[in-house]
Structure formats: structure tokens, C-alpha cells
Amino acid sequence: MDILNKVFDFTGKSNLITLDDLNPNKYILDDEQTTNQYNLWIAVNQLRLAYNKPMIVTSGVRSKEDQQRINPKAPLSKHIIGAAVDFSDPNGDLKKFVKENNYKILIDNGLWMEAASSTPNWLHVQVFPPKSGKREFLP
């Protein structure tokens, strides 16, 4: 299949994740967040192309206030610096795809994911390694 068939579905609509998808609240980003969003955008679209199915962003960049409301136990979330995104994964198909490919898609694109046991209905990926350095980590 050529690249155009991977990027566009039969309606001609792009299946790639957009920068707007990663910043749905249209926060004004500082230089660090802008750089992180760009790097995340490149990496998750490589994942998207390999997965070859639609991926729905459920949470992108967050304000500190949003982070406090969503998960006060994680005040240093990579979402705040624009370096993380969550995708809807109610059946675990996306996590299964990543694991079946031995995390190669993550490794090749500089992505790390939160442990499947911690994210029952979504997949969290980020462009910075966690303290453990493990490709799949506990939050």
C-alpha cells in the first residue's frame, strides 16, 4: 500500500493526528511546549501509520489546573509540557498492537507508554522517558 493510501481513507479525509488534536483547548504554548508538541506529533503519526486504524485523542496538552482536576496525584504529568497524549483504547487493541510488535514502534519513534494495567480504557504515550527508563512504565 502506498503512503497516500495509508494517510487518506476512501473519503479523502486525512487519518493523521493533527496538532489541533494534540491541543484541543487551543492553549497558547510556550517554546518548550511547542517543541514538545511538534516532536509528539511526528512520533504519534508514525504510530498511527503503523497501526493503520483511526486513533482518537482523548487528552493532549493540559493546563496545570486541568491536570490538578484530572489527576492531582500526577502534578508533573508530561501533558503539562505538551509531551504526552492519551488515545481512546476501550478494547485494548492499540496496546495489544504495541506489545505484539515488541514495543518496536515506540522504540523507533522515541515514545514511552504507561502500563496497560494503569490505563484500562486508553493508551498514554509520551516523548520523554520516565525515571525508570522502561518503555512501558507505571505512572
Dump pLDDT digits (tens) for 64-113.
999 999 888 888 899 999 999 999 999 999 999 999 999 999 999 999 99
State if pTM tops 0.85: yes
Dump pLDDT digits (tens) for 41-63.
999 999 999 999 999 999 999 99
Instruction: Give the number of domains in the chain.
Output: 1
In CATH, what number is assigned to the domain containing residue 86?
A: 3.30.1380.10
Domain of 97, in residue numbers: 3-137
- Sorting pLDDT into bands at 50, 70 and 90, what band is 15? confident
DSSP per residue, the chain: --HHHHHB-TTS-B-SPPHHHH-TT-PPP-HHHHHHHHHHHHHHHHHHHHHTS---EEE-S--HHHHHHH-TT-TT-TTTTT-EEEEE-TTSHHHHHHHHTTTHHHHHHT-EEE-GGG-TTEEEEESS--TT--SEE--
